[in-house]
Amino acid sequence: MNRDFKDIPTEYLAKIFDTVRIIDFKNNRVVIENVKNINSSVDKNCYSILCKDSICKNCIASRAYYENETVTKLENSNDKVFLVMATPITDGEEKYILETLKDISSSIIFDDQNLPQKEVLVDHMKRIDELVVKDELTDVYNRRYLNERLDIDIKSSIMNNFELSLVMIDVDYFKKINDRYHHIVGDYVLKEFVNVILNNIRSDYDWIARYGGEEFAIVFRNTDIKEATLYSERIRKAIENHNFKYDNINISVTASFGVSSISEEINNSGLLLQKADEQLYVAKRKGRNRVENA
């Protein structure tokens, strides 16, 4: 193996943490499980150590990789509380994540007896994890989650020879709604808008994120551009026909859609988002309340 990671203080870290490993984040694989033995390479999912069967929603390896700084979180697994730290490191021109885990279940000390016990702490941890990746107003994923997760889903789809499509959605003339009815009604429209979308996607398979303002993104996994366009048209009609009513105010709401899918040329999040955004603007130029695809 070509990796040497000579600068890692392996003995020092091993005394502090229960697990010290090196992750190839781009492929979500553990490449070295025990840094004491740098030459012992492995190849397994990075999330399996926490007894999970899918990528963590609040993935700190992802955040450390993209923000290029150390990120820390508390993680609950099998009634245990783990302190997890992720630090970006380089080996030549390649960037990896040095991840350390410590079981702190029996070593947490509270100075104040009124502080929450472990069970309550775990609930707080889950809530914090949600706040990091969720949009406060609509309770769907936020742009940070989209930026971190989309590339992962794209790579997974390419590796497994699956299709993947992205849909960018914009609420038509949302500024006019805000200007006429004020922000409280605008907030209601966005929340209700999201509910309509959630009722028309596969909740255990697809996901939606608020991209910014009145713009949203839907990721349709294992879905080609033809299917994604059909799904988008169904959502468009559902929004157009939905009764958006706040108190005694009836609001007419429509949306424009831009659809793109992965291909040999479109193989990363930047290109996929760009292509979907281009199609969204085509839909707007053609009069809005329509679906366009690449």
Q: How many CB atoms lie within 10 A of CB 70?
A: 14
For tokens 């885990």, the residue is 101
Output phi, psi for 173, to 5 deg: 50, 40
* Strand bridging mode 19-24 / 249-251: unpaired
CA 141/CA 277 separation, integer angstroms: 19
Give me the catalytic one of 148, 214, 215, 292: 214
Q: Could you tell me which of 58, 66, 222, 218 has the C-alpha nearest to residue 154?
A: 222
Query: Coil, helix or strand for 294?
Result: coil
SS3 248: coil
Cα gap 225→209, rounded to integer Å: 19
Helix (H) / strand (E) element for 118: namely: helix 118-133
Instruction: Tell which phi-psi region holds residue 44, choosing left (phi > 0), alpha (psi between -120 and 50) or beta.
Output: beta
Active site residue 163: no
The set of catalytic residues is 214
